[in-house]
A and B are shown apart, each in its own frame.
Chain A
Amino acid sequence: MSRWLRQITVCMGLLVGCASAWAQMPEGWDRLLGPGRGRPYRGQILDSETKAPLAGAVVVALWRRERVYPFQVNTERYAVRETVTDSDGRFLMEVKDIEEGAPRRTRKPEFLVFLPGYGAFPHRYTSPKGFLAELFEGSGTTVEVPRLENREDRLSNLSSFGPHSFSEKPHKELPRLMRAIDEERVALGLRAYPPAEKE
């Protein structure tokens, strides 16, 4: 076998290996934005005990994209958007501009719902199968969050997520979330977030 033929054979082998590896992804585990990208996300947020709609809850969607490196696929934040629920506890998030222009290997968004005094979604919520975005596709879903009665629970809830996990500049990109977090921090006797220096 000539040297070049040997090299090409090795390359082909490696590519076939990659293909077979890709096939290891189980069905239903595809986390990347699909053909239906760009459609709005909807949902309704309720008090889990009274079933009353919760107005003013901040809903944040975070898109991560995968970066492929040798020996590694990393994820990084691609985009983030927030909205708040209306008087019926409903929200509608338009994402056409984000998803239609998203690069390849952009994942479906992860969601956070936060309302001061309530457990944050998804940390106190058992979601059905499927990635979070799928819950809010089409007609959306109803999310019930519990009212937190004691300070320790509320502190723990605050620690279950951080605004900087969603954005490097949360004051600029997620002002409603930051206001809600600050409201909760102050209510719990903590100091409000100072703006980040970079912002």
Chain B
Amino acid sequence: MMYRALLTVLLLLLPISAEPYEVATHEELVRAATRRSSVDQMLKDELGLQDGIRNAIRGKVLETWLVEGGANEDDFPRFLNHFHNPLATTWSQAGLGGSVGQSAILWAQNPSQSAPSWSWQDARQSYLDALTKASSADRDKSLAATFEALGRQMHLVQDAASPAHARNDPHVFFNYETAIDGLRIREASTFERWRDGTPDAAGVPDAGWRSLDSNPLAPIAIARLVDTDRYTGANPSLTTGALIGLAEYTNANFFSEDRIFTENDVNPQTQFPFPRRSSVLEQDVDVHVGGATVKRRYLIKNADGATGYRIATVGFLREYHRRSGLDLARFRETPALDETVYRDYAERLVPRAVTYSTALIDYFFRGRMAAFGNDVAFTIQNGSEEAMSGTFTLYYDDANDTRRPVPGASWTQSLGPNALVTDLRVTTPTSPAPKEPGKYMLVFRGALGSETEAVVGKQVAIESVLVPRLLRRKDGTPIRGSSLQAIDRVTGQTLSSGTTDQDGKARLTWRPGRTVLLIPAANVFPMYWAGGALFASQAEGARVIQPADLDAQGQVTITIPVIDAQWPERTEECSGQPQFAHSPQGFFREGTLLPDGTIDLVTVTYAVNLITFIRDDDGRETILCGSDSGQCKTPAAGFVAEDVNRIGQVVGHLVRDLSSGHLRQITNTDGVPLGPPVCFNNYAEADVVGVTVVEP
């Protein structure tokens, strides 16, 4: 017991290093994968972040949060969970030493890692929070956390391209990863060629990994990026295809420092069937050492999977063995991995580390939604390649950047790829009012393909539509051809204008809670709707239209009294016609056939010197006509919108200077007078008469 304890302590104290790609290497790989991914475009197109991945959140650009996640995942003791042996009998035994650490696959999907936890599920929750949290600061914090978590997830995938991590090898000191980081510094261009190069088709994971059967131990499909469970240890040729886990490819085709030709190991933790002795051939290769070119004998991989690269040098004592005629069966040769071998490894593994981690982040943001229409008939379309089944919820930001769910705007739907749901009604929020009217964040939470708790966000613009219907109050008939304007009462801006159709309807865009309606010509004066059958002449007196004013079709019905002016007019006794008329050159003639065959002919002429309408409330004067006028305006020209509310009331007076002549005479049928006029009266006088508002 004590012996075991001592050994454990020693192991813990020893500077044993199973270095993953070093921190700075991970930073470079994450950066490269991010550039290769569609994240930047997604952020711009879907979330409306104009700087995309270069958008600064909490003092760092989003890319930096990813990169830092990639670096921080190696913090002690998290790295103990960065191994995955694809040939372990079960993933629960696939970690470092079988169970010293958790398999990287399980670790990635373990929401109880530590505090904080950076699992895929945590990334999903952070993303949901980034889209829905009330405070702007919390949303920023969550978005940063999302990217940090994704950087860590990318790190785990990248580690699967490190042989030690795929072959259960806690190697000591200088190793593949150390060498790669050294080359990153010593030969930046070489490293960047590996990092940014175009991998062959097999170096990019086949999208089929997304739909492979899930493993209950780690059911989210990202596990398949690391291990598809297709490589069994007997079929290495399969690992050169694109539908293969990165750990499987690495395990089957590369050595780590302490796992070289271990096909015959008795320990199942270290026994890896490939590469094996029969997978290689020996070949002398020129290498440069200390400025000189020398031949070094390498083992070239030429079978059982990937081929055509140096997989190891022969053992350093090989030549000694040969010259001394030693029995190789007794003096076991130990091949080694030198810098040249590491370069060949990196040329194949670094691009895959990038492409596989690119696939991971693209998978996270793969959900797409389209949204169009308006608040009366709103449409959501599943723009993803997978079915979406869950809840679609709309959010908006108020003036304080507080994000709020739009009341009633949450729908549970199942939509296949490209399917859509139409005619959704959105009650545009008004209390508090949106910071940017019409701008919303649509958030999906639910199953996206096989992932049960996916999150998708989409910034959408939803036009608010108002359908005013104008009816004549007196008889309920539509008022056709009347123009209408929706005015923003805060800015005075005309939001839209339209003309009523045969049904008296017009279609206007508006901003709920800050829009008033101007009806310029239903009467002869412009008027704002003030609610009910009331109207105002100024926007300040108008009703700010609320969503509650609209019916289910987005319609608001306005009954309008169409008013006119009425004033008293005396009947002249001779002609039986009005004594005066508002007609500058008025002429009236009417004959009546009498029983004796003569004609009773009445002739009236009217003239106007001046007619003025003076309002009683403010004394405003409107000249209706003068002696030179062609015709007179109606006194209603001096009306204001508030007069609509005063039907039956006297609202002003006409001040008139008029004249008229009234003649009645009996004539024959040719119009020739048959005697003196029956009567003949001339009038020239000024009068003042009251004007009453009427609804004819």
Contact = CB atoms under 8 A, between A and B. Distances in A.
Given A11-B10, A159-B35, A71 B79 contact: yes
A37 interface: no
Interface stretch (B20-28, B299-307, B450-458): B20-28
B75 A70 contact: no
Contact of A22 (B22, B54, B77, B173): B173
B186 A129 contact: yes
B564 interface: no
Contact of A195 (B14, B22, B59, B338): B59
Interface residues of B, number: 60
B71 to A, nearest CB: 8
Contacts of B610: none
A196 B59 contact: yes
B188 A127 contact: yes
B7 interface: yes
B59 A24 contact: no
A191 B56 contact: yes
A191 to B, nearest CB: 6
Contact of A25 (B11, B174, B185): B174
Contact of A73 (B15, B51, B53, B188): B15
B174 A126 contact: no
Interface string A51-64: 00000000000001
B295 interface: no
A159 B7 contact: no
Given A75-B23, A125-B189, A185 B54 contact: yes
B59 A194 contact: yes
Contacts of B31: 159-160, 162
Interface residues of A, number: 58
B87 to A, nearest CB: 21
Contacts of A129: 186-187
A71 B173 contact: no
B182 interface: yes
Contacts of B27: 162, 165
A111 B340 CA distance: 25
Interface in A34-82: 64, 67-76
A127 B184 CA distance: 10
A183 interface: no
A140 interface: no
Q: Quick one: which of A67, A73, A158, A163 has the most chain B CB within 10 A?
A: A73
B90 interface: no
Contact of A162 (B7, B12, B67): B67
A126 B189 contact: yes
Contacts of A194: 56, 59
A121 to B, nearest CB: 9
Contact of A123 (B55, B179, B192): B192
B207 interface: no
A72 B79 contact: yes
A17 interface: yes
B253 to A, nearest CB: 22
Interface stretch (A2-10, A86-94, A95-103): A2-10
Nearest to A195: B59
A95 B60 CA distance: 28
B543 to A, nearest CB: 41
Given A21-B173, A71-B79, A72-B17, A159 B59 contact: no
Interface string A20-31: 011011110101
Contacts of A17: 172
Given A11-B10, A72-B76, A126-B189, A18 B172 contact: yes
A149 interface: no
Contacts of B145: none
B397 interface: no
Given A14-B14, A18-B15, A25-B173, A125 B59 contact: no
A62 to B, nearest CB: 9
Interface string B214-234: 000000000000000000000
15 contacts: A25-B174, A31-B182, A70-B11, A70-B12, A70-B77, A71-B18, A73-B17, A75-B23, A110-B185, A123-B188, A129-B186, A164-B64, A165-B24, A192-B56, A193-B61
What are the 5 tightest A-B residue pairs by CB atom distance, in nearest-first order? A196-B59, A21-B172, A126-B189, A68-B15, A122-B188
Interface of B: 2-3, 6-7, 10-19, 22-24, 27, 31, 34-35, 51, 53-56, 58-61, 63-64, 67-68, 71, 74-77, 79-80, 96, 170, 172-175, 178-179, 182, 185-189, 192, 257, 290, 338-339
Given A70-B77, A126-B189, A195-B59, 13 more contacts: A3-B3, A7-B3, A10-B10, A14-B14, A25-B173, A26-B339, A70-B16, A73-B173, A74-B76, A123-B192, A164-B64, A165-B27, A193-B59
